Amino acid sequence: MMIVSELPIIEEQMRTRILRAPKTRQAHIELLSQIEAMNSVELGGIAASSKLPAQISVVAWNLERCLFPEQSAAHLAPFAPDLVLLSEMDCGMARTAQRHTTAEMAKEMGMAYAYGVEFFEMGLGGETELPYCEDTENARGWHGNAILSRAPMTRVAMLRLDSHGHWFVTGPNVDPNQPRVGGRMALLAVIETDADPICAVSTHLESNADGKHRMAQFAHLLDAIDDFAPDLPVVIGGDLNTGNHMPPDFAWQREGLFDLARSQGYSWDINPEGDTTRPSLLTPHPTRKMKLDWFALRGMRGEGGRIIPSVTQEGDVLSDHDAIWCRVHPYASKGAQS
């Protein structure tokens, strides 16, 4: 993995290779290994402080492409977040006006950022996204996860949760009109605080799979955290897609990842009750409600967990996910378990 100030674009020759490649697992693994930006983390923005406070205000939010970076940043301002864990963030996509949505939110909020690519998307998006495309091509085609922090990130890593091409290999889950390379991933960062350093994790688990698949992804993530920050307090936040593809009730309680994390010293107690999805401009499902978004804590205590509706005072819907918020504080000694 490389740390870069700007993710390099994919040249036309590689785009052609992707389009012509056989839709197989092995072909995807090879393509993924050869795309520099898919194996890099972009660091940017300006940190407002040298350290985070001992008590940290944390938001996790799937921003569904991030159609409205400035409004989204303003929507979080009342919570004064020190740490924002984001997923589904576009960079150089026609549907979001070719904007680097993570960089623009970080600028609005006075924060440093880390950004990693989940998918390189060659198409313009789904049917509901096409009306937002003023261009006929994507400038970059990046779609991924991010960490925003008011203090510098002293170490950063990206973990790919799969490489086999869940959205590339020919099968029922692949939309031929949306060619893409990549897969679910997580960003991990070590950040200094006025107490202990902490490890912050932004992740996004697979939606088009069952609970067994997501549990395997989460197990991979927990192992990576142990290697990356074995003695540090940890806050994981993101869209875990719990209960997705489990209609009609979308019962997140049937997911095995909760007990898996508890067995390794993580707590879910800070999470507020209630569903975290809603109809949006891009996902106009009037009745479907799911609880997809979570915090998991290790070596920390949390308080004040709540859901932040993704609807502005003017009634504009910013995402099909509501944000979740809490305050966390590392325990006095490193490695203490919650």
At which residue do the structure tokens 């660091």 appear?
A: 43
Topology (CATH) of 2-330: Deoxyribonuclease I; Chain A (3.60.10)
pLDDT of residue 177: 62
pLDDT in tens, 32-67: 999 999 999 999 999 999 999 999 999 999 999 999
pLDDT at 128: 93
Q: From residue 63, how far is each of 90, 123, 146, 160 by CA, in Å?
A: 9, 19, 11, 20
Using the CB atoms, write b or e for 15-42: b if 16+ within 10 Å.
eebbeebeeeeebbeebbeebebbebbb
Model pTM score: 0.96
At residue 247, the pLDDT reads 73
Are residues 187 and 41 in contact, defined by beta-carbon separation less than 8 angstroms?
yes
Residues of the chain with pLDDT under 50: 333-338
Of 100, 82, 83, give the one whose Cα is nearest residue 92.
Answer: 100
Ranges of each domain in the chain = 2-330
pLDDT value of position 259: 98
